Amino acid sequence: MNKRILLVEDEWKLRRIAADFLKRENFNVIEAEDGEEALNFIISQKFDLIILDLMLPKINGWELLKEVRSKDSTIPVIMLTARGSEEDILKGYEMKADEYIVKPVSMKVLVAKVKAFLRIHSLGEIITFGDITINTDTRDIKMNGSPLDLSQKEYELLLFFIKNKGQVLSRDRIITSLWGYDYDGDIRAVDSQIKRIRKKLEGKYIKTIRGAGYKLEEE
């Protein structure tokens, strides 16, 4: 199956040229000309990689990147923008962009970077904790060899716990890592998510540390 790439660029000529180069390599390219259209695609569809401009009509690239990372912490995101200041580049990486490319750029170089990120991403990673096994590429989760059905956010939360096993994680840290700095919802959303995960894990592994947060530890 061809890899699906979301190309978000408001400059029509550049978008068409980039899309044509990617399509020649048999990528399935979905184009968005503004932030609002891109956000609709991100919410409703699944992509293997996103190429994202910063200066977009309606919703800018920073806001879109926040939205992407709130939903999927693993999908490769390449920022492709005319903004090349050190401050912007550092901000891009701090917001968990995988690559930051300043225009103008050779289309051959862009395609090569896309291939490299997809090659790395497709290798996936097998993570184990206790009797839990997670394939980060396919997102298959098993417990004692049986499939575990988790929502997207439950998956991200469990993976976050496993990667930080043994550490006490406060609600604030969890919210910042998974929902973003600008989250203004109910902090108890964390408790609700953890309650559901605990039930699916048969009450194992996630411990409440009174007054501090939660910790993942083996039985």
- Domains in the chain, CATH or no CATH each: 4-123 (3.40.50.2300), 126-216 (1.10.10.10)
The answer on pLDDT for 27 being more than 90 is yes
Q: What is the pLDDT of residues 57-67, one digit of tens each?
A: 999 999 999 98
**Res 184: pLDDT:** 67
Contact in structure between 79 and 8 (CB atoms under 8 Å)? no
**Res 152: pLDDT:** 79
Q: What is the pLDDT of residues 181-196, one digit of tens each?
A: 666 667 778 888 899 9
- What pTM was estimated for this model as a whole? 0.58
Q: What is the pLDDT of residues 95-145, one digit of tens each?
A: 888 889 999 999 999 999 999 888 766 656 678 899 999 887 777 889 998
Average pLDDT over residues 67-91: 87
The answer on pLDDT for 158 being more than 80 is yes
> CA 57 to CA 63: how far, in whole Å?
12
